[in-house]
């Protein structure tokens, strides 16, 4: 199965409005067929090397090794690839949606975590490692949204590997969360362009001058997403 066939079949399946258990049950079977023969990915290697337009149209991401392969017209799902360098795993992170993960070229390792605190203290998180699994080429795993989908990905050996992920529509917009179990911390990971705005909000909150407060108040007078409203609220408290 090639990517185009997978996307058409998966889009038709999602049109039936299945619940998450059904999505994962049926979807992982389809996904396994896509992963069974990696030759379809040759096209994307060629585009990465020889098609400037393909690179220019790549969305920004908090993950520099992420390659967007497909986004459904109705934004019901996306297909992303990740090229993993040895000894450079992802940060431990959560997800805003359900996701199906699979190895395409060489084995990848997935380490899953469970959150022990209730998320009541901002910036604090206590994690427990629950599993570590090597996913062989053609093999799959899955994640659930938010605290039920905390994991870390990376190559399982000393050679580069390629994994593919299929993700549903996010129930939390704007950011992911990165965890540090040793320091028991969690931070919001914004997309690079949005992070520039977040940094400006935080900087204005730390300056504490009347002109900085005026800029913050003027900006927050317009409707903003909830995650930015929280940044404005925190910054305003610091500037007071």
Q: Both 103 and 203 in a single domain?
A: no
Q: Both 170 and 198 in a single domain?
A: no
Please tell me the pTM assigned to this model: 0.90
Beta bridge partners of 141: 101
Tens digit of pLDDT for each residue in 200-215? 999 999 998 999 999 9
How far is the CA of 197 from the CAs of 148, 204, 238, in angstroms? 29, 11, 17
Percent of the chain with pLDDT over 70: 99
Q: Both 71 and 135 in a single domain?
A: yes
- pLDDT bin (cut points 50, 70, 90) of residue 225 is confident
Q: Both 132 and 82 in a single domain?
A: yes
Tens digit of pLDDT for each residue in 114-148? 999 988 898 999 999 999 999 999 999 999 999 99
pLDDT at residue number 2: 95
Please write down the HEC assignment for all residues of 53-69.
HHHHCCCCCCCCCEEEE
Domain count, the chain: 2
């Amino acid at each position: 199965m090639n990517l185009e066939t997978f996307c058409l079949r998966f889009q038709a399946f999602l049109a039936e409005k299945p619940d998450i258990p059904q999505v994962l049950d049926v979807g992982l079977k389809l996904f396994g067929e896509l992963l069974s023969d990696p030759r379809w990915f040759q096209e994307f290697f060629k585009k990465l090397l020889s098609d400037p337009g393909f690179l220019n149209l790549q969305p920004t991401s908090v993950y520099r090794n992420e390659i967007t392969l497909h986004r459904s017209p109705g934004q019901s799902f996306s297909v992303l690839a990740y090229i993993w360098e040895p000894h450079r795993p992802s940060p431990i992170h959560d997800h805003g949606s359900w996701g199906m993960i699979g190895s395409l070229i060489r084995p990848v390792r997935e380490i899953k975590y469970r959150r022990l605190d209730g998320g009541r203290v901002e910036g604090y998180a206590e994690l427990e490692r629950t599993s570590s699994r090597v996913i062989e080429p053609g093999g799959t795993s899955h994640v659930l949204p938010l605290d039920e989908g905390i994991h870390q990905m990376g190559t399982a050996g000393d050679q580069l590997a390629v994994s593919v992920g299929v993700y549903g529509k996010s129930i939390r917009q704007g950011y992911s969360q990165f965890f540090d179990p040793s320091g028991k911390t969690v931070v919001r990971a914004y997309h690079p362009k949005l992070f520039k705005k977040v940094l400006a909000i935080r900087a204005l909150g730390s300056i504490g001058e009347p002109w900085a407060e005026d800029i913050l108040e003027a900006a927050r007078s317009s409707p903003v997403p909830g995650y930015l409203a929280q940044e404005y609220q925190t910054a305003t408290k610091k500037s007071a």
